[in-house]
Amino acid sequence: METVVSLTVSALVIALCVFAVAGVLTLVAGALIGAWIFFRGNMCQRGGGEGFFSTPKGEAFTIEGIDDVPNYPDGDGPSEEEKHLLKKTGDLFKSMGGPK
């Protein structure tokens, strides 16, 4: 009789473990599906963008000749390098959903 009870308890513990793992996997899958739907909805409103699991293509923010830019302010307004830096910064903020 003890062997039957022991096997029954063991079977119940194994079944509970299997259901717990299945519940966690269902929760993770639901969270990923929800995040993907939310991401796709935001990208449709913003007019496209990068993929959900992909890395950005190209260079997101590059300033050519940053070592040649003089210290700000230089007294007579922004130089061409400073204007370029401001433009690239504005483009970065726009791509991240900042003020337009």
pLDDT in tens, 35-87: 888 887 777 666 666 666 666 566 666 666 666 655 655 566 677 888 888 88
94 vs 63, more confident? 94
Q: What is the pLDDT of residues 14-39, one digit of tens each?
A: 999 999 999 999 999 999 999 888 88
Q: Which of 91, 82, 51 lies closest to 64 in space, CA to CA?
A: 82
Q: What is the pLDDT of residue 31?
A: 95
| Whole-number pLDDT of residue 50 | 62
One domain for residues 44 and 12: yes
Torsion on CA atoms 79, 85, 86, 90, rounded to nearest 10 = 160
At residue 6, the 3 state secondary structure works out as helix
2 and 44 within one domain: yes
> What pLDDT sits at residue 32?
93
Show the domain range for 40.
1-54
How many domains is the chain partitioned into structurally? 2
What is the gyration radius of the CA atoms in the chain, in angstroms?
28
Q: How far apart are CA 22 and CA 1, in angstroms?
A: 32
Phi and psi of 44, rounded to 5°? -65, -40
78 close to 86: Cβ distance less than 8 angstroms: yes
pTM given for the model = 0.41
* Residue 21: per-residue pLDDT: 96
